[in-house]
Amino acid sequence: MNYTTQMDAARNGIVTREMEIVAKKENIDIDKLIKLIAQGKVVICANKNHKSLDPEGVGEGLRTKINVNLGISKDCPNIENEIEKARKSIEMKVDSIMDLSSFGKTEEFRRRLIEISPAMIGTVPIYDAIGFYDKELKDITADEFLDVVEKHARDGVDFMTIHAGLTRKTCETFKKNKRLTNIVSRGGSLLFAWMELNDKENPFYEYYDRVLDICEKYDVTISLGDACRPGSINDATDASQIEELIILGELTKRAWERNVQVIIEGPGHMALDEIEANVLIQKKLCHGAPFYVLGPIVTDVAPGYDHITSAIGGAIAASSGADFLCYVTPAEHLRLPTLDDMKEGVIASRIAAHAADIVKGVKGARDWDYKMSEARKNLDWDEMFRLSIDPQKARRYREESKPKHDDSCSMCGKMCSMRNMNKILSGKDINILRDDE
């Protein structure tokens, strides 16, 4: 059976291999999944050339997914270090890896990453353009930008961040409504500079139909980038952000007319009490398309701890309806993350995603917590470690401070509530001070 994209297949009632895998993983009825994909409310990012992919669904009613960012830069160009991070993130069961490489042998790294990764792969082609052409930003042509998009698609990238909503009109709104931190999106700032230097329209907006041609050909999901995402809580939910979001809603419909799947990217830095409203606005303006958020980072004062600030915001965003969390590491705003930074970011994001899935009523989410609580009640340490979101750390903490009695921990000892309640409810004596069991 012939089809161009997962959305095209869904709209024609064709059940793809990828749909079958996702339906089984999510414990969702296949007919319901097909309907959601046809409506654009769920996407399966699955480039036809990504042969090692183990497909995942992103969107309404499904488990909240998490993404890891990595890639080489001019200051840190070591490919092997980034491959090690990729392998570790796959081991930690991330759903997606974004290659944000911006310098050096980006093509070699991207192809190796796609070859080894069962997780979906995303990129931001504009990051790669400067290094690929070895030209100053101003001198890159619209055709050259689009050629990089096609190159990434041909290599097997499953989704791409395309900042098509930053138009000349959006730029004027930005200039008239001053921000504390201006445009903090790297791709957005590069496009803004290119447009100003060349006095031209955003090529990804002007030639959006050509972008759709590429995406339809390879079944690449467009992740419509939030060039105007707030870089401080002061700038959240302002005119620039909302105007861009309106345009992204229009671009979403244009993509769907071509059976191209769409994800919408979102903020950014944002106070707690604005997050739920932002998710609601996105879902309304972008017609229920899956929402992919960076954080949100809920306070600006915690460099070194932004995996925590983002996990707080991510849990609120996902419980309010966001579908996809981009992890943030302790190194955010400070440096390229190390392997340990990446681990901390992954765990924080997984906690946030799971906490939200409990609220959203995702099938099986509460079962995990029930089993952990059961293991705690039974003082079954091996089962607790097995069920832990980070088994290695849980086991290490236990080993570093062993109690005298195995049915307790070094915090409470024989005053352990679980131990004593188990004993008293089974008719046994409680011996806190005596040395016998």
Residue 152 is labelled as binding a ligand: no
Residue 163 is labelled as binding a ligand: yes
> How do residues 104-138 score in pLDDT, each as one tens digit?
889 999 999 999 999 999 999 999 998 888 889 99
Residue 45 is labelled as binding a ligand: no
**Which pLDDT score is estimated for 136?**
93
Of the candidates 292, 171, 153, 283, the residue with the CA atom closest to the CA atom of residue 226: 292
Pairing, β 57-59 against β 42-44: antiparallel
When the pLDDT of each residue in the chain is averaged and rounded to a whole number, the result is 95
Give the mean pLDDT of 48-74. 96
Residue 407 is labelled as binding a ligand: no
- Whether the pLDDT of residue 437 is over 70: the answer is no
Give the mean pLDDT of 189-215. 98
- Whether the pLDDT of residue 405 is over 80: the answer is no
Residue reference for tokens 């000349």: 168
Residue 171 is labelled as binding a ligand: no
- Whether the pLDDT of residue 1 is over 80: the answer is no
- Whether the pLDDT of residue 27 is over 90: the answer is yes
- Whether the pLDDT of residue 340 is over 90: the answer is yes
Residue 287 is labelled as binding a ligand: no
Residue 86 is labelled as binding a ligand: no
Residue 186 is labelled as binding a ligand: yes
CB 95 within 8 A of CB 64: no
Residue 289 is labelled as binding a ligand: no
Residue 382 is labelled as binding a ligand: no
**Which pLDDT score is estimated for 363?**
92
Q: Which domains does the chain have, with CATH numbers?
A: 48-360 (3.20.20.540), 366-425 (no CATH)
Residue 265 is labelled as binding a ligand: yes
Other residues' Cβ atoms within 10 Å of the Cβ of residue 412? 13
- Whether the pLDDT of residue 50 is over 80: the answer is yes
- Whether the pLDDT of residue 398 is over 70: the answer is yes
User: Which residues partner with 221 through β-bridges?
Assistant: 159
Residue 205 is labelled as binding a ligand: no
Residue 398 is labelled as binding a ligand: no
**Which pLDDT score is estimated for 430?**
84
What percentage of the chain reaches a pLDDT higher than 90? 88
Q: Tell me how far apart the alpha carbons of residues 274 and 237 are, in angstroms, rounded to a whole number.
A: 8
CB 281 within 8 A of CB 249: no
CB 101 within 8 A of CB 132: no
Give the mean pLDDT of 295-300. 97
Give the mean pLDDT of 6-26. 98
**Which pLDDT score is estimated for 158?**
98
Residue 355 is labelled as binding a ligand: no
Residue 326 is labelled as binding a ligand: no
**Which pLDDT score is estimated for 107?**
92
> How do residues 219-273 score in pLDDT, each as one tens digit?
999 999 999 999 999 999 999 999 999 999 999 999 999 999 999 999 999 999 9
**Which pLDDT score is estimated for 419?**
87
> How do residues 302-339 score in pLDDT, each as one tens digit?
999 999 999 999 999 999 999 999 999 999 999 999 99
Give the mean pLDDT of 345-351. 97
Residue 288 is labelled as binding a ligand: no
What percentage of the chain reaches a pLDDT higher than 70? 99
